[in-house]
Amino acid sequence: MPSIVIVGTQWGDEGKGRITDLLAKKVDYVVRFQGGDNAGHTVLLKDKEFKLHLIPSGIFYPHVCCVIGNGVVVNPEVLISEIENLEKQGYSTDNLKISCNAHLVMPYHRILDKAGENRLGKSKIGTTHKGIGPVYSDKAARIGIRTQDILDLKIFRKKLEVNLKLKNAIMEKIYGLKPLDLEEVFEKYKGFAEKIGKYIEDTSFLINQALDKNKKVLFEGAQGTLLDIDHGSYPFVTSSSTVAGGTYSGAGIGPGRLDEVLGIVKAYTTRVGSGPFPTEDEGKTGNYLREKGHEYGTTTGRPRRCGWLDMVILKYSAMINQLDSIALTKLDVLTGLEKLKICTGYKYGDKLFENHPNHQTVLHKCRPVYEEMDGWKENIKDIKNFQNLPENAKKYIKNIENILKIPVSMVSVGPERNQIIIREEDLRKSAFNYNSTIII
C-alpha cells in the first residue's frame, strides 16, 4: 500500500492516460487490469504525442514497473509494435511485465468482430474492430488462449488447432470468409513468443508483494463506467469490467488492497460508437466541442459524439465506483462559450429521473433537463491555482462537487504535464499522498 485506481466515469476518453502519466512520477507500479488495444490513452510530452493502447501510461518514467494484468486481452502484434516504437524514441520497456493469465487476441477474433458488426447492420455496437468481444467471449467459454500458452508451443499448437476448426467453420459457413491457415498463424505467434516471452510472469505475485512492501501502485482503468459490461448501456458497451471493482479480479488483488478511487471526469461528455447518449448535441455546440477538444478517436480516428456534462451519469458512476475524488479534465475546452449547461435529470413522459433509470428505453428516449450557467472568456491554460480561475469556472466546478458530494481534487486545463491545478486542501486526507510536487 498505498494504492489508487483511476477509472473513466463516462464513455471513455476522459483523459485517463494524461492523469496516469501525471501521477506516475510518484509511483512504483502502473497496472492495466482490463480491456485491450481498444483503449487509446494519450500522453503529451513536450510536443510529442504518444498514443498507448496496451502499455500502461507509466512507461515514460524509467523507475516505474508497468504491468499488463491478467484481466487485459493482449494482441501481441500491437504490443510488439508499441514496444518497438517506444524503444526507438528512447523509452525503455525493460520494466514491462505481462501476466501469464492474460488472454491473447488471435487473428480470428478481429475478423469475427468486424464480421459480427457488419451482420448487425444498423444495430451495430460500433466496436473498435480490435477483436475485444470475441476474445472475452472465448475466455468465458473456456476456449481462450493465454499468454502462457505461447511459452509451450506444443500446447499452443493444440489449442490453436481446436480453435481454428471452429472459427474457420464459422468464418466460411456463416460469413462466407476465407479460412485461416494453421501453419501461418502458428509461425506468426511463434515469432511473437520469441519477442514477448521474457516479459511474461504471474503478475499477481508481483503486485501483491509490491503492496506488502508498501510500494505505490496505480491501477490504470481503460474505457469508462458507462461502457462496463455490467453497469454500462448494454449492449452498447465493451466486454470487460471497466469499473473500480474490476481491479480486484483483473489484477489479482483482494478487496482490502485499494486505498483510493480517482474518477476522471471530462468537463463535458463524449462517446464513440453507437448507443444512448442523452446529452448528445448534434448541432453547433457538439461541433464546437469536437473541434476545440480535438474529439476524434485515439484508436480509430472516428469523430466522437459530443454533448453537455451529464450529472445523472456521473452520480451513477460515483456510486458504482465509490469515487473518493475527481480529476476534472479539459475544462479549457469550455472557455469562450457564453452559456454552459449541466444535465441534472431526464424527462421521460411525465416522469422526471434524477437518478440513472432502470430501463434503457428511458436513456434512449428521454429529454435532458438542464441547469444553465454563465461561461467565461479568459484563457485558463496556464493557471496553476484554483483561486486564480475565473469566478464562473470555479462555480462550474463547485456545482459538480455539490451535486456529487465528492471533491474535485485536480483540474486539467490542457493536455501537457504542467497544465494542471492540484487542490492540495482536498488531498491532505489522501492515503496516496500525492501533491503538487508531481508537477514537472
Q: Indicate whether 43 belongs to the interface with ligand IMO (CB under 6 A).
A: no
Residue nearest to ligand IMO (CB): 273
Task: Return the SS3 of 172.
Answer: helix
The number of residues that bind Mg ion (CB under 5 A) is: 3
Nearer to Mg ion, 37 or 149 (CB): 37
Amino acid of residue 284? K
Name the binder of 330 from ligand GDP, ligand IMO, Mg ion, none, CB < 5-8 A by kind.
ligand GDP
Q: How far is the CB of 41 from Mg ion (least distance, A)?
A: 6
Separation between Cα atoms, residue 234 and residue 218, nearest integer Å: 28
Q: Indicate whether 71 belongs to the interface with ligand IMO (CB under 6 A).
A: no
| Main-chain phi, psi angles of 126, to 5 degrees | 80, 40
Q: How far is CA 223 from CA 182, 246, 275, in A?
A: 33, 12, 15
Separation between Cα atoms, residue 37 and residue 51, nearest integer Å: 11
Per-residue interface string for the shown chain with ligand GDP, residues 33-52, x marking contact by CB under 6 A:
-------xxx-x--------
Q: Indicate whether 13 belongs to the interface with ligand GDP (CB under 6 A).
A: yes
Q: Indicate whether 415 belongs to the interface with ligand GDP (CB under 6 A).
A: yes
Please select the residue that binds ligand GDP; options are 27, 210, 413, 427, rule is CB under 6 A. Answer: 413
Q: How far is the CB of 263 from ligand GDP (least distance, A)?
A: 12
Question: CB–CB of 260/347 below 8 Å?
Answer: no
Q: How far is CA 414 from CA 135, 266, 278, 380, in A?
A: 35, 12, 26, 9
- Dihedral of alpha carbons 390, 391, 395, 401, sign: positive
Grid coordinates of 57: 501510461
Nearer to ligand IMO, 148 or 298 (CB): 298
Q: Indicate whether 75 belongs to the interface with ligand IMO (CB under 6 A).
A: no
Q: Indicate whether 298 belongs to the interface with Mg ion (CB under 5 A).
A: yes
Q: Indicate whether 303 belongs to the interface with ligand IMO (CB under 6 A).
A: no
Separation between Cα atoms, residue 306 and residue 293, nearest integer Å: 10
Residues 340-399 touching ligand IMO, rule: CB under 6 A, are none
Q: How far is the CB of 13 from Mg ion (least distance, A)?
A: 4
Please select the residue that binds ligand IMO; options are 238, 269, 317, 325, rule is CB under 6 A. Answer: 238
Please select the residue that binds ligand IMO; options are 130, 290, 341, 356, rule is CB under 6 A. Answer: 130
Q: Indicate whether 58 belongs to the interface with ligand GDP (CB under 6 A).
A: no
Active-site residue list? 13, 41
Alpha-carbon dihedral angle through residues 73, 78, 84, 87, given to the nearest 10 degrees: -50
Separation between Cα atoms, residue 66 and residue 83, nearest integer Å: 12
Q: How far is the CB of 219 from ligand IMO (least distance, A)?
A: 13
Question: What residues have CB less than 8 Å from 319, skipping those under 6 apart?
Answer: none
Q: Indicate whether 426 belongs to the interface with Mg ion (CB under 5 A).
A: no
Alpha-helical runs (H) found in 305-436:
311-321, 360-365, 391-404, 424-427
The number of residues that bind ligand IMO (CB under 6 A) is: 23
Amino acid of residue 367? R
Residues 319-348 touching ligand GDP, rule: CB under 6 A, are 329-330, 332-333
Residues 5-34 touching Mg ion, rule: CB under 5 A, are 13
Q: Indicate whether 38 belongs to the interface with ligand IMO (CB under 6 A).
A: yes
Question: CB–CB of 432/259 below 8 Å?
Answer: yes
Bridge partner list, 371 = 342
Q: Indicate whether 412 belongs to the interface with ligand GDP (CB under 6 A).
A: yes
Q: Indicate whether 133 belongs to the interface with ligand IMO (CB under 6 A).
A: yes
Name the binder of 2 from ligand IMO, Mg ion, ligand GDP, none, CB < 5-8 A by kind.
none
Amino acid of residue 100? C
Question: CB–CB of 192/76 below 8 Å?
Answer: yes
| DSSP assignment of 344-379 | EEEEETTEEESS--SSHHHHHH-EEEEEEEE---S-
| Interface ranges with ligand GDP (CB under 6 A) | 8, 12-18, 40-42, 44, 294, 298, 329-330, 332-333, 412-415
| Interface ranges with Mg ion (CB under 5 A) | 13, 40, 298
